[in-house]
């Protein structure tokens, strides 16, 4: 028998980024899913990489006191959440520790600047966007990916999304079955229906339903429109034509019912969000994040200050912070989002923001002689390129606000900023995604 596949008994030390429980045993580090600190478990190794062993849980011999019963019928098969059966206060504690650990290990930085994570007031039904995938495998599935898999798990209830989402998804699946609409096959690159995306505005209680197809036409369009109008009265019903298999919300779209945008409001600032534009996933925590940055700017911004907002989306930060700055340059690579950002500035009567359609690196290279007091950036999960960090470091006079949803790329980039003349003043984690291992961080760096 292969020794590596033999059962091993270990005690879980802590949770690490990626959702794993970590244990040390016989000079090896074990990574296991669905376990919590302090638990005594037996595991079966699945793959070994030098002294790192990934293992599957076989049995919990002694559970943690923080282990609770899960509210979800699909957990842990579903890949959406990792910690649904872990007490919320313990999740928060683990997340703060993870940010500190990543900052020390990857960033080689002092973790005493990390504050305790700010929690989400809503831990159920908090998500304002859900992307469901269609899959035909003998029978129709509409749901989320299984844990560590591309296979779709057919789901009928999800406690982290609003109840209305469950109702819409389950009923739409019935309609698709009845109308016998062809489902898209990723391997063959053939078929029609790909995704159902539901978005919600929490401040205005508006719902947007997006039907994503691989084709330019939506079969039974009139029947589908009538069905939604009679049963759900959505604020917006959209047909999105998307030939990409890597990004769900991309491509041309048409409005079948209602408005082509959702409306959201933060502290009297109004925002219109188009179907394909990025927007933070948790309204309550986004509000807290904005106010945290606002506090910093209020006490650190000189009278005629300027700011660069990179990866600026629909203009959330540029518009919200515009009263504190003389001039803001807002840079975004999505045409749809820039158009929305300009519209949002008009709605809010903002005149001191210049919106630019450009990718961040070419923009920085072209404008390297410009100087800004502050930069605010919210890059995708992969973080920044070295060249971007170098260019930003010379363009910024006072400080950088770095918003990130990935603690490891965040720690890596912060380390490079500190080598380019900045001091990390504080890191404030936010629990944007309760019950999952994801953590939103706001790092404040000041120029030496």
Which residue ranges are tagged as binding site for S-adenosyl-L-methionine? 280, 311, 332, 378
The DSSP-derived string for 112-173 is: GGBPPPBPPS--SS-BSEEEEEEEEESEEEEEEEBTTSSSEEE-S--TTS-HHHHHHHHHHH
- Token look-up 């084709």 returns 215
384: burial class by Cβ within 10 Å (0-12, 13-18, 19+)? Answer: buried
Please tell me which residue in 72, 78, 158, 405 is annotated as part of the active site. 405
Calculate the CA 258 to chain-centre distance.
27
Residue list, annotated binding site: 280, 311, 332, 378
Report strand pairing: 52-62 vs 28-32.
parallel
Rounded to 5°, the CA angle 99-79-429 comes to 20
The DSSP-derived string for 220-272 is: THHHHHHHHHHHT--SEEEEEE---SS-SS-S-EEEEEE-SSEEEEETTEEEE
Report the distance separating Cα 339 and Cα 322, nearest Å.
Answer: 18
Looking at the DSSP assignment, which residues form a beta bridge with residue 258?
236
**Nearest-10 Cα torsion for 410, 415, 289, 147:** 20
Residues in the chain, how many? Answer: 448
- My answer on whether omega of the bond before 285 falls inside 30° of 0, hence cis, is no
Question: Please, which residues have CB within 8 angstroms of residue 34's CB and are 6 or more apart in sequence?
Answer: 21, 57, 76, 82
Question: Please, which residues have CB within 8 angstroms of residue 205's CB and are 6 or more apart in sequence?
Answer: none
Tokens linked to 392: 């930003």
Half-sphere exposure of 397 (CA within 13 A, CB side): 13
Looking at the DSSP assignment, which residues form a beta bridge with residue 426?
444
Nearest to 339 by CA among 274, 414, 427: 274
Could you give the residue ranges of the DSSP H alpha helices within 303-368? 316-321, 335-347, 360-366
Does residue 72 carry a catalytic annotation? no
- Token look-up 């609770």 returns 68
For the annotated catalytic residues, the residue numbers are 405
């Amino acid at each position: 028998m292969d020794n590596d596949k033999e059962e091993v008994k270990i005690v879980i030390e802590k949770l690490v980024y990626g959702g794993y429980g970590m244990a040390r045993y016989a000079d090896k580090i074990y990574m296991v899913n669905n376990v919590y600190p302090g638990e005594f478990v037996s595991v079966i190794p699945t793959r070994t990489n030098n002294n790192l062993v990934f293992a599957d849980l076989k049995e919990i011999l002694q559970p943690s006191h923080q282990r609770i019963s899960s509210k979800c019928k699909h957990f842990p098969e579903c890949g959406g959440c990792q910690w649904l059966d872990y007490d919320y206060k313990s999740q928060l504690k683990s997340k703060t520790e993870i940010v500190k650990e990543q900052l020390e290990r990857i960033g080689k930085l002092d973790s005493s600047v990390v504050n305790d994570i700010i929690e989400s007031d809503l831990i159920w039904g908090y998500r304002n966007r859900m992307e469901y995938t269609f899959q035909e495998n003998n029978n129709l599935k509409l749901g989320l990916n299984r844990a560590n898999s591309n296979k779709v798990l057919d789901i009928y209830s999800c406690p982290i999304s609003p109840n209305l989402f469950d109702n819409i998804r389950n009923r739409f699946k019935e309609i698709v079955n009845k109308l016998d609409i062809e489902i898209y096959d990723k391997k063959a690159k053939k078929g029609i229906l790909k995704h159902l995306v539901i978005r919600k505005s929490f401040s205005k209680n508006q719902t947007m339903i997006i039907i994503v197809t691989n084709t330019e036409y939506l079969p039974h369009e009139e029947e589908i429109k009538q069905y939604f109008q009679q049963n759900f009265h959505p604020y917006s019903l959209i047909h999105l034509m998307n030939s990409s298999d890597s990004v769900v919300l991309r491509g041309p779209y048409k409005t079948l019912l209602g408005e082509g945008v959702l409306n959201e409001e933060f502290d009297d600032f109004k925002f219109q969000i188009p179907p394909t534009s990025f927007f933070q996933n948790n309204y309550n925590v986004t509000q807290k994040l904005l106010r945290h940055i606002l506090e910093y700017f209020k006490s650190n911004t000189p009278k005629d200050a300027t700011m660069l907002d990179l990866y600026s989306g629909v203009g959330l930060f540029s518009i919200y912070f515009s009263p504190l700055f003389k001039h803001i340059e807002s840079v975004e690579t999505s045409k749809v989002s820039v158009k929305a950002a300009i519209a949002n500035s008009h709605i809010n009567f903002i005149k001191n923001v210049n919106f630019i359609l450009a990718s961040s690196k070419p923009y920085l290279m072209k404008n390297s002689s410009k100087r800004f007091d502050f930069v605010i950036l919210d890059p995708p999960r992969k973080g920044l390129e070295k060249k971007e960090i170098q260019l930003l470091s010379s363009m910024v006079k006072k400080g950088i606000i770095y918003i990130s949803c990935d603690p490891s790329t965040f720690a890596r980039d912060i380390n490079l900023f500190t080598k380019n003349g900045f001091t990390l003043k504080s890191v404030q984690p936010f629990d944007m995604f309760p019950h999952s291992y994801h953590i939103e961080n706001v790092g404040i760096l000041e120029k030496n």
